[in-house]
Chains A and B, each alone.
Chain A
Amino acid sequence: MNKLLLSAVAALALASGPVLAQPTDILNASYDIARELFEAENAAYAATGATVTINQSHAGSSAQARAVLEGLQADVVTFNQVTDVQKLVEGGYVSEDWTSDFPNNAAPFYSFPSFLVRSGNPKAIKDWGDLAAEGVQVIFPNPKTSGNGRYTYLAARAWATEAYAGDEAKIEEFLTKLFANVPVFETGGRAATTAFTERQLGDVLVTFEAETLAVVKQLGADKYEAVVPSVSFLSEFPVAVVDKVVDARGSRDLAKAYLDFLFTPEGQEVAAANFHRPQDATVAAAHAATFPEIRLVTVEDAFGGWDKVAADHFADGGLLDKVFVNQ
């Protein structure tokens, strides 16, 4: 018994002890629905001859930001929200000028809130207005806990602002109806997907286009259809090196090289194959058949930037709380 215990402690110490030698692995803390994407990216990165082991941790983007602040030893973060990286900047984990470390504001790929409906689209859902109709059940994750859900709220509001010519009363009426049509708010993007597919809840799932296309591919075009609305909200997925962790571990070069790979044509190709829209124009052109044209509004154009969104919409008692009546 003693011997067993001793070897168990030794194994544990090995598994958790500090890395003294040159690190051969890095940890990527990522958002919930990027599991398949980074599995493919990591395999493609290994195929380029890179010998580093990439460990993955996935949870809600904001939850991951919190975990890094509490000490999760992530060398790089790949989030779905700029605001989540900003939390790491405030905590002193990521440098102020992180957006200039990589091309395109450090966002290798993007997506936007889009729709997934059951085969044949029985409720004839075409655009945001249809989601607020009576008798339609909508599934999307809780905007309080999920970046995915916040993007959905902003996309719906951007559509309504155009549709009702900025009439705030009508916009809020629409959003209130939309939120009232949600039977259950899951905490993360993937949980919302499983609620829609495994538990068969709701008529339409609102989530990133990447997730809708992946579900159609995984679970069958005979069961689900992806529907792209007339307008949506640009959702760029930022990446950053976590300075505090890589400086302590001596893994900066490994971390930087890994994130650089995501911006190469090979990395962009993998993203496109996993239904994330690539920034690279050549790769995007090659996948034009997968990604239909869509008009995307940006946070700067529609809402005046992330800081303003945080203060006006997502603060306690903000505009989100006014329409999120059944939370």
Chain B
Amino acid sequence: MSLSAQRSIGANVLIGLSFVFVALALVVPLALIFSFALREGLGAYFDAILKPDTLHAIFLTVITAVIVVPINMVVGAALAWLVTRFKFRGQQLLVAIIELPAAVSPIVAGIVYLFLYGNQGLLGPLLQSIGLQIMFTPLAIVLVSLFVTAPYVARELVPLMRQQGTDDEEAALSLGANGWQMFLRVTLPNIRWGLVYGAVLTNARVMGEFGAVSVVSGSIRGQTNTLPLQINLLFNDFNIAGSFAAASTLALIAVITLVLKSMLESWERR
């Protein structure tokens, strides 16, 4: 009996276990969402999704992602650039601060925003005096989503850019490229997959965020209810089919995002 044969038995068992785990933990719940959603037929399914409040929740969730993801891609890339390409006092502190939103509980993030922008909050009197309402509007949802997803892009890029070092960029500069040319032709192509991964993670978190958003949304039906809040609301309304229909759209958006990402990847490799 050779060593490699033994190892392959062990490996097979492990692979089998992983498959069982993936099936139980991921595939079954996902399949369940769709089976519950379609329990009362395709007609009822589309009726549930096309309800104005649910449709608006989908719209609000997508719009929030469309705004938040690009902003955090730019900010994340800039931050990663800053901490990997320059040396300055407080560098480690900045890296730690970038990580902070990922470390605090979402409910804390929501309450911090409430204490900052609420009428009784720090900036409340100022905002009221200029007539700007932030809390309990879609703007609050965007702000709190920006906060909770701030780390994702930088987190992907910082290790990548550290590993790649500055050789390529220095070469570009020595060959006469200006800063902008260097970034577009050298840096960006080098980090693009990290950037895409970061964007996918950001997107997933923005669309799925419940805790922080629930604090600042005011849950006004058809106005400030995002898809996760709407799912919770329908579930508490005893509208099980409706809540699973809404949940299935959220799952579908996630699946589409992942498929798009892998299509981009394979297209790039050809």
Contact = CB atoms under 8 A, between A and B. Distances in A.
Contacts of B138: 12, 15-16
Indicate the member of A4, A55, A67 with the most B CB atoms within 10 Å.
Answer: A67
Contacts of B235: 194
Interface stretch (A69-77, A260-268, A305-313, A316-324): A69-77
B142 A12 contact: yes
A16 B128 CA distance: 15
Interface in B112-160: 114, 117-121, 124, 128, 131, 133-139, 142
Interface string A36-55: 10000000000000000001
Contacts, number: 75
Contact of A71 (B66, B135, B238): B135
B219 A12 contact: no
Contacts of B124: 70-71
Interface string B44-69: 00000000000000001001001100
Interface stretch (B28-36, B97-105, B184-192, B220-228): B220-228
A197 B235 CA distance: 12
B220 A11 contact: no
A144 interface: no
B70 interface: yes
A62 to B, nearest CB: 15
B133 A73 contact: yes
A8 interface: yes
B237 interface: yes
Contacts of A36: 237
Nearest to B119: A71
A59 interface: yes
Contacts of A67: 136, 218
Contact of A219 (B118, B142, B223, B238): B238
B221 A70 contact: no
A35 interface: yes
Contacts of A73: 133, 136
Contact of A12 (B67, B135, B236): B67
A73 B136 CA distance: 8
Given A71-B136, A190-B236, A8 B119 contact: no
Contacts of A9: 67
A70 B66 contact: no
Interface string A5-25: 100110110011010000000
A57 B142 contact: no
A56 interface: yes
B70 A1 contact: yes
26 contacts: A5-B66, A8-B63, A8-B66, A8-B67, A12-B63, A12-B67, A12-B138, A16-B137, A16-B138, A35-B237, A55-B221, A55-B222, A56-B221, A57-B219, A57-B221, A58-B233, A67-B136, A67-B218, A70-B118, A70-B121, A70-B124, A71-B134, A72-B136, A190-B236, A194-B235, A194-B236
Interface of A: 1, 4-5, 8-9, 11-12, 15-16, 18, 27, 35-36, 55-59, 67, 69-73, 190-191, 194, 197, 218-219
Interface of B: 60, 63, 66-67, 70, 114, 117-121, 124, 128, 131, 133-139, 142, 218-223, 233, 235-238
In the complex, the 3 A-B pairs of residues with the closest C-beta atoms, listed nearest first: A70-B118, A16-B137, A71-B119
